[in-house]
Each structure stands twice: as C-alpha cells, then as structure tokens.
C-alpha cells in the first residue's frame, strides 16, 4: 500500500541503527505465531482468515486485533510473544525499543494487571538472557475504555515496577471513546511518581481534547494527525516530540496518502519527530521500511536519516548513562558504515 522505496533505500535503512519509541506489543506479533496460537485455541477459521491476508483493510485490521486478543490469554504466551517481538526488532537493527502494552485484568483466565505485566517483563528478561543486544524498556498503556480507577491502577502498577524496567505510561485505544477528565488525575499522579508520559493525540479531529492534552504537556505525543491552525501553533511552540507512524496512519485512514502525511511540515518546521511503527505485525511493516518510505516520499538524504535516528535517542525515556551508551553505539556504527 505505501511500500514505495528503492531496494537501495531499504538496505540503507536496514543497516541504520534505530530507536523505536511507539510499538504496541499486541500489534507487533508475527503472523505465523498468531496462526499457530489460533490453531492451538481452535478459533473459528472464518475469523482467522485475516491472519493470512497480505494487505489488510481497516476492518480486517480490527478483526485481527480481535483474534490477537483471544489468543493472548495465557502468561506463557505473553512471555513468548514479548521475546519474539524484541528479537524481531533486534533483527531490524533497533538498538533501543520502548515497548508498550495495556495490562489487563482478565480474571476468567486467572490474569491480573500485575500478573500480565510480570509475564511481559519475563519476556524482556528472556530476550536479554538469550543475548539480544536491543535495550528494552516498557510503557504501560491506559486504554481509553478504562475508567478513572482502572487508569489509576495501571499508574500505581507502573510506579511499583519502575525498577523492573517500566519507564512510563501511555494513553491509547479507540480515539472516539472516553473523555480526558477520566484519565487526567491518573496521568497527573503518574508524573508526580516520576513516570514519563506519552499520549496518543489528535488521531481524529477532536480540538477540545487535543488542547487539553497539549495544556497538560506530556513528555511525548503520538500521531497528531488532525490539527487546526491554532492547535498546530500551540503544538509547534510546545516543542513536545511526536512519534509518527506513516503506514499506520494511512491504513487506519487518519491520513489519505504518504504524500499528504504531516511528517514533512513537522520536519521542515524543525519540530522533533521520531519515526515509529505503531503495529508492525498488523500493518506488515518494520522500522526500516518506515524509514525507507519516508526517505522515498520526502526526499530525505542519508544524512537526514542518520540525524533522524540519532536524535530519537534524546527523546527516549532513559537515563543520561543509557543515552550515552546509545550515542556510542551510533558513533561506532557510523564509523563502520564508511
């Protein structure tokens, strides 16, 4: 659909060290794993045909998320998929991955928000123990369907698991559902507890809510597709870095085509932007492909691409020491690339 780039561009972007700051665990699964788990669970085959689709329509994307939800009901499976997702990002030369997921209370499956998150953290540990070089941190997401109490429970859990590698909290889910006032107290509390905040915003045109989010001043924003002139002005003067996901925005119809994407005006304005995948499995993409799509559509030079990937380090929710280590990795790979 938007895979327009040359082989040379893709090869350059694959070799480029990269930072992924906006990846949802459930959206980043391998098709092959979903299929295997769906077969194991004996899910209705008519529901599962979307797993084998090459390109998916928006409604097929939603169906696929339904299948994924049905097969991720077991702690061992959560650990496995987390490990696989990390390994896939590592194979794509992603040096730092900030993975996000929504902790779920699914008591019918013996799962709580805490046990869910611990299973995911175990997957992070397993990837590391297996020699995976990618540095990984976790963000816990609040789903927009959740009420104030559930949002606060996620924040408290994130705070308790900071030493285990949870660095922040995200707000995500269907952008037409819920209201800012529901989650604002939990998000404000998260900030007081030292958690970093990245919020999905302006995926649809919702000027009142987008203004509330900008006034709240999160550490990072996701998407920012639908802004009017006033909001764009406030956004630019805020200098809040934004995670941009080209394929995702096009497939979910937030943006009509790559050439219409707001990456270019944001980039030209000098606003801090970070290219990300959102849901690499569901959208059949990779971070290298997203960089290659941007290079092709917006005429980015190799120097621009190095700058984009290296500047993303500054926006990671990492300590100064960890960022220093990443900068060193960039310096080594850049000198090695000739």
Rg (CA), the chain: 19
DSSP 1-70: ------HHHHHHHHHS-EEEEEEETGGG--HHHHHHHHHHTT--HHHHGGGG-SS--HHHHHHHHHHHHH
User: What are the residues facing 143 on neighbouring strands?
Assistant: 172
Q: Is the dihedral of CA 121, 125, 130, 131 positive or negative?
A: positive
Looking at beta carbons only, is 12 or 175 nearer to Zn ion? 175
**Contacts of Zn ion in 93-152 (CB under 5 A):** none
Q: Which of 76, 94, 74, 77 is nearest to 86 (CA)?
A: 94
Give the per-residue SS3 of 289-301.
HHHHHHHHHHCCC
Q: How far is the CB of 103 from Zn ion (least distance, A)?
A: 16
- Point out which span in 56-64, 68-76, 277-285, 324-332 binds Zn ion (CB under 5 A): 277-285
Q: Provide the H-helix boundaries in 195-245.
A: 207-216, 229-238
Could you tell me how many residues of this chain bind Zn ion (CB under 5 A)? 1
| Residue 112 tokens, joined | 């709580």
> Is 203 noted as a catalytic residue in this protein?
yes
Nearer to Zn ion, 20 or 310 (CB): 20
Nearest distance from residue 308's CB to Zn ion, in Å? 19
Q: How far is the CB of 333 from Zn ion (least distance, A)?
A: 27
Of 39-47, 111-119, 229-237, 272-280, which segment contacts Zn ion by CB under 5 A? 272-280
Answer whether 101's CB lies under 8 Å from 118's CB. Answer: no
Q: Give 92 or 278: the residue with its C-beta nearer to Zn ion.
A: 278
Question: Which residue is associated with the tokens 């429970």?
Answer: 153
Tell me, residue by residue from 161 to 180, as one string, x for binding to Zn ion by CB under 5 A and - for no binding. Answer: --------------------
Residue nearest to Zn ion (CB): 278
Cβ proximity to Zn ion, 88 vs 278, nearer residue: 278
Report, in Å, the least distance between residue 220 CB and Zn ion: 12
Let me know: does 140 contact 159? Beta carbons within 8 Å.
no
Asked if residue 23 lies in contact with residue 61, where contact means CB atoms within 8 angstroms, the answer is no
Interface map 221-260 toward Zn ion (x if CB under 5 A): ----------------------------------------
CA nearest neighbour of 239 among 207, 195, 269, 201: 269
Catalytic-role residue among 20, 84, 203, 310: 203
Near Zn ion by CB under 5 A, which window of 119-127, 173-181, 276-284, 297-305? 276-284
Tell the smallest beta-carbon distance from residue 10 to Zn ion (Å).
23
Query: Given the rule CB under 5 A, which of 7-15, 125-133, 230-238, 270-278 is the region that contacts Zn ion?
Result: 270-278
278, 293, 297, 326: residue in contact with Zn ion (rule CB under 5 A): 278
Residue 23's nearest CA partner among 255, 198, 252 is: 198
2 vs 43 by CB, closer to Zn ion: 2
Q: How far is the CB of 24 from Zn ion (least distance, A)?
A: 6
Per CB under 5 A, residues contacting Zn ion are 278
User: What are the residue numbers of the active site?
Assistant: 203
């Amino acid at each position: 659909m938007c895979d327009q780039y040359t082989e040379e561009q893709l090869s350059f972007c694959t070799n480029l060290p990269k930072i992924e700051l906006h990846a949802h665990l459930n959206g980043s699964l391998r098709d092959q794993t979903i299929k295997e788990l769906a077969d194991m669970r004996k899910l209705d085959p008519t529901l599962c045909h979307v797993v084998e689709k090459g390109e998916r329509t928006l409604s097929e994307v939603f169906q696929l998320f339904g299948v994924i939800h049905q097969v991720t009901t077991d702690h061992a499976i959560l650990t496995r998929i987390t490990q696989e997702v990390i390994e896939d990002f590592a194979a794509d030369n992603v040096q730092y991955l900030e993975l996000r997921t929504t902790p779920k209370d699914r008591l019918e499956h013996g799962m709580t928000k805490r046990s869910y998150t611990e299973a995911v953290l175990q997957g992070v540990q397993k990837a590391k123990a297996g020699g995976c070089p990618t540095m990984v941190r976790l963000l816990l997401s609040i789903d927009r369907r959740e009420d104030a109490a559930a949002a606060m429970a996620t924040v408290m859990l994130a705070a308790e698991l900071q030493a285990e590698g949870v660095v922040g909290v995200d707000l995500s889910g269907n952008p037409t559902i819920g209201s800012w006032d529901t989650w604002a107290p939990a998000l404000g509390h998260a900030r007081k507890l030292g958690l970093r905040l990245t919020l999905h915003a302006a995926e649809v045109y919702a000027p009142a809510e987008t203004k509330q989010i900008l006034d709240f001043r999160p550490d990072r924003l996701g998407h920012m597709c639908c802004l009017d002139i006033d909001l764009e002005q406030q956004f630019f003067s805020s200098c809040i870095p934004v995670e941009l996901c080209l394929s995702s925005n096009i497939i979910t119809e937030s943006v009509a085509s790559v050439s219409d994407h707001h990456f270019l005006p944001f980039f030209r304005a000098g606003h801090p932007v970070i290219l990300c995948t959102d849901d690499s499995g569901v959208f059949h993409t990779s971070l290298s492909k997203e960089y290659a799509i941007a290079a092709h559509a917006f005429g980015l030079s190799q120097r621009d691409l190095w700058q984009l990937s290296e500047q993303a380090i500054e926006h990671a929710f990492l300590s100064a020491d960890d960022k220093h280590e990443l900068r060193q990795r960039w310096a080594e790979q850049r000198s090695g690339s000739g």
